[in-house]
């Protein structure tokens, strides 16, 4: 009998070895099923929040009042209180819109694409990154509505039967934005809520106060943790992950068409869609890490959001940052190599014109500083320096949108030149949108589990009760 024909017993690893050994454990300090639920769920039931939460919440609430004042005055006076004019008719509204849409991209990437790729490290950050996506899209949606001048007529953007026979211009990318962003928001909201259902049931069962039992019980939709519940839950969650994956590429691609389908020099470029998507992931991960670093310290969640997670997020930022830098180089190279006087003239104007300072701020905050230091593993695992890199990337990505929009201030006809100077109401609306985001985000981490209890339990080794399916998980006392 040949070796190939010889029957062999299947190999069985020793029982004391993990089924899938991890070089870097994603859950530290030998947690079990009960301790994972207690450590994450207790944050919701804390009667006294840490000082950091109060600082963030009150800062967001104060900035939210600035937004309320700015919007009320805008409704009273009109969009003329902003600095927009004939050459630069969009101004801060489109800058902040694109910036917030980009920040919301990381949640979909972490939740959907990394779910389909079976990347287990996403588990620690997927829940609050999904929430961040929803809040960021809400902040982004404010600006087109306010820029309309009469936001109470926003429904005119949808093709509904009406007496006047007025329908939206489907050849306009601004109309495409409406459908892309609303689809993105709806799918992200459903995806986030479906993932919350098992944890809401756990909170319902652990709650001591009557109002918490009623509220979480209603939101849990009668979840009992039965086999049929888990089967349907996993099917729906996987299907929503598949539906969300194209949105990572499509939404910011459509947003980039606001510029790319025009004939303005340096806007009419085929590199804009991938360039915008890479920039969105870059800024989205920057916001995720910038919020996760202080939060894990305030609530003592270092066992679940480890230095290894910081290291991976830093690598993702490094990769997408270089893609963004390549986009900047490609714009410069094609303007020079293409011998187009209009594109080369616009490039020189961007770099050395009246707004040249903003271009070099963009290069420093987006490329020079973060991409120089993120090569170091020590920097990626340092909370202070990684936080500085994230804040730098967020500032740089805002300046990127500013530089793109400010290109309109000078074209090839000197008689139509103008200057753009934002007013105090532009800044008030921008700061207020940041306040709205922080206000909603800190309310979220106060009343809902910021890390998925269910998925963190699955990451535990088998001997600690994890990785063996939902039946083991549901037997946790």
| 351 belongs to a structural domain | yes
| 1 belongs to a structural domain | no
pLDDT in tens, 142-172: 998 998 888 888 888 777 777 667 777 788 8
Task: From residue 386, give the alpha-carbon distance in Å to each of 316, 392, 407, 437.
Answer: 12, 10, 32, 22
For residues 400 and 366, the answer to whether their CB atoms sit within 8 Å is yes
pLDDT in tens, 216-232: 899 998 888 888 988 88
317: left (phi over 0), alpha (psi -120 to 50) or beta: alpha
Residue 187 phi/psi, 5-degree rounding, is: -65, -40
| 28 belongs to a structural domain | no
pLDDT in tens, 53-110: 999 999 999 999 999 999 999 999 988 899 888 888 888 999 999 999 989 887 787 8
pLDDT of residue 321 exceeding 50: yes
Q: How many structural domains comprise the chain?
A: 1
| 140 belongs to a structural domain | yes
Query: Confidence band (pLDDT; 50, 70, 90) for 464?
Result: low
Per residue, what are the HEC states of 64-122? Answer: HHHHHHHHHHHHHHCHHHCCCCCCCCCCHHHHHHHHHHHHCHHHHHHHHHHHHCCCHHH
d(CA 448, CA 231): 24
| 376 belongs to a structural domain | yes
| 346 belongs to a structural domain | yes
**What own/partner pairs with CB < 8 Å and gap ≥ 24 does 424-428 have?**
425/70, 425/73, 425/74, 425/81, 425/82, 426/82, 426/83, 426/91, 426/92, 427/92, 428/66, 428/67, 428/69, 428/70
| 25 belongs to a structural domain | no
| 10 belongs to a structural domain | no
pLDDT of residue 440 exceeding 70: yes
Residue range(s) defining the domain that contains residue 227:
33-474
Put simply, whether the predicted model's pTM sits higher than 0.85 gets the answer yes
């Amino acid at each position: 009998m040949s070796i190939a024909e010889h029957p062999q017993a299947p190999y069985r690893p020793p029982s004391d070895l993990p089924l899938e050994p991890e070089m870097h454990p994603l859950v530290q300090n030998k947690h079990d099923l009960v301790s994972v639920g207690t450590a994450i769920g207790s944050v919701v039931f804390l009667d006294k929040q840490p000082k950091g939460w109060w600082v963030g919440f009150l800062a967001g609430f104060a900035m939210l009042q600035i937004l309320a004042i700015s919007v009320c005055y805008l409704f009273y006076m009109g969009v003329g209180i902003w600095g927009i004019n004939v050459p630069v008719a969009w101004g801060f509204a489109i800058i902040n819109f694109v910036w917030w849409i980009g920040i919301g991209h990381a949640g979909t990437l972490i939740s959907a694409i990394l779910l389909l790729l079976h990347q287990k490290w996403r588990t620690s950050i997927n829940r609050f990154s999904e929430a961040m996506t929803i809040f960021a899209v809400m902040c982004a949606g404010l600006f087109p509505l306010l820029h309309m001048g009469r936001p109470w007529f926003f429904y005119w953007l949808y093709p509904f039967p009406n007496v006047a026979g007025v329908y939206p211009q489907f050849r306009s990318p601004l109309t495409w934005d409406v459908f892309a962003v609303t689809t993105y928001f709806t799918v992200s909201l459903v995806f986030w809520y479906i993932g919350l259902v098992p944890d809401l049931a756990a909170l319902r069962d652990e709650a001591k106060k009557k109002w918490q039992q009623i509220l979480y019980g209603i939101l849990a939709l009668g979840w009992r943790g039965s086999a049929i519940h888990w089967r349907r839950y996993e099917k729906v969650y996987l299907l929503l992950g598949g539906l969300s994956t194209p949105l990572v590429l499509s939404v910011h691609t459509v947003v980039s068409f606001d510029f790319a389908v025009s004939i303005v020099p340096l806007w009419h470029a085929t590199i804009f869609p991938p360039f915008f998507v890479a920039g969105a992931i870059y800024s989205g991960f920057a916001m995720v890490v910038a919020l996760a670093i202080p939060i894990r310290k305030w609530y003592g969640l270092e066992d679940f959001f480890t230095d290894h997670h910081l290291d991976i997020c830093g690598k993702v930022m490094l990769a997408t940052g270089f893609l963004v830098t390549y986009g900047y180089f490609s714009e410069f190279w094609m303007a020079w190599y293409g011998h187009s006087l209009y594109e080369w003239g616009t490039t020189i104007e961007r770099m050395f014109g009246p707004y040249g300072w903003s271009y070099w701020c963009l290069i420093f905050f987006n490329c020079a500083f973060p991409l120089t230091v993120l090569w170091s593993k020590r920097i990626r695992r340092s909370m202070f320096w990684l936080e500085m890199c994230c804040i730098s990337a967020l500032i740089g990505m805002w300046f990127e949108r500013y530089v793109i929009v400010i290109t309109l201030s000078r074209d090839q006809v000197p008689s139509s030149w103008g200057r753009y100077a934002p007013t105090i109401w532009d800044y008030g609306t921008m700061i207020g949108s940041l306040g709205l985001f922080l206000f909603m985000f800190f309310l979220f981490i106060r009343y809902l589990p910021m890390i998925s209890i269910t998925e963190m339990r699955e990451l535990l080794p088998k001997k600690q009760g994890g990785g063996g399916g939902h039946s083991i998980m549901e037997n946790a006392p």
